[in-house]
Structure 1
Amino acid sequence: MHGARPILWFMTDAPETTSNGREPALHFDAVLRPHRSLGPHGFAILMIAIAGISFAAGLFFFLIGAWPIFGFFGLDVLLIYLAFRFSYRDARAFEAIRLQDDALIVRRVDRHGRFEECRFQPNWLRLDLEEPETGPGMLVLTSHGRSVSVGRFLTRDERQELTAALRGALDRLRAPAV
């Protein structure tokens, strides 16, 4: 669930339709997730190590007569645990980008499961990759006076990869049928 890189799925091969053939063809599909470097197994190991060190240090203070300190070491472990849990809760957020024959759909889901969806007509869509010297870059999708930015949490290379893949899928969709 919490891999070392954001999850990116690209469909850039031949378009696919459903079995009934009535749904628009899918030309591109990407799911973008924020980076989380520590997976569940690593989190368990880290928490066991922190709890062990805190218990040993707290026991030392308890044995020399400073018993109130023991509780503060337990409180530290609890606060570290809660900080990681909040971070993992934030990792439930994602952005999904789908390019079909008739629309490019951007769905953004926040950590609470609430979502917002933007639809663009692909023939008029403009992609602008903004990479400032400082601060996070972003890919801005613009059409008919509306715009939405995607991939703020991606690295520069991942944003460039996403832009190239989406631009290629749009070019193939816009190309006249031969």
Structure 2
Amino acid sequence: MPYRWSDTADPTPTLTLWPHRSLPRAGFAAVVLGCFTAITLPLYGLLGTVLLWGLLPFLLMAVGALWWGLEASYRSGEIEERLVFTDPDLHLTRRNPKGDTQEWQCNAYWARATLHPKGGPVPNYVTLSGNGREVEIGAFLSEDERKALYLDLDHRLRGMHLG
């Protein structure tokens, strides 16, 4: 699950969310190296010919385009959301891929988690509302992960209201 709660003994529980990565950095290098190897195999038969120099730039551009595309995907996924439960407030901070941050804060007693099964930018859209504002949380998660996140958040917020 690409989100984690801090230790339960922690006096300020913190929820950290991040996008799922199906290809780790080591896999990234293996894919690019494998592609390079597969593309250069047919060139060994052309060693010593002019045709090799005619094909080589295009094959290297294909490997470069693969690397650039995967790197752009990694950069766009550098999102982190952190929800800190301090008494009596909630504080949500979102760090976007370009480095800018967005923040939201409200009194935890008035905070509500809402699951929007339809009508949001994604199915089962999760929002937090309070302090006259409604903000999204975990929009980059999968549909099942957003459902689980909603249940976790709702349970934690209800526990804060009762305790």
Percent identity over the alignment? 24
The alignment's C-alpha RMSD in Å is 2.4
Taking the aligned partners of 2:43 and 2:136, their CA distance within structure 1 comes to 48
Aligned residue number for residue 19 of structure 1: none
The alpha-carbon deviation at position 67 of structure 1 amounts to 3.6
Matches within 5 A, 1:24-103: 26=12, 28-60=13-45, 63=49, 65=51, 67-103=53-89
1:150 partnered with 2:137: yes
Aligned residue number for residue 23 of structure 1: none
TM-score norm. by structure 2 comes to: 0.85
1:50-101 superposed Cα distances (whole Å, 9 cap, x missing partner): 0011122345567583642221000000011011111112232111111221
Give the secondary-structure state (helix, strand or coil) at the position aligned to 2:152.
helix
Please say if residues 10 and 165 of structure 1, whose CA atoms lie closer than 8 Å, have aligned partners that are also in contact: no
Give the secondary-structure state (helix, strand or coil) at the position aligned to 1:113.
coil
1:96-130 superposed Cα distances (whole Å, 9 cap, x missing partner): 11122111111010112211110011111121111
Unmatched segments (≥5 aa) in structure 2 = none
Taking the aligned partners of 1:92 and 1:142, their CA distance within structure 2 comes to 25
Task: Return the match for 2:111 from 114, 125, 137.
Answer: 125
* Cα pair distance change 1:61/1:135, threshold 3 Å: farther
Q: Structure 2 counterpart of 1:45, which letter? A: A
Taking the aligned partners of 1:119 and 1:134, their CA distance within structure 2 comes to 22
Please say if residues 109 and 161 of structure 2, whose CA atoms lie closer than 8 Å, have aligned partners that are also in contact: yes
Unmatched segments (≥5 aa) in structure 1 = 17-25
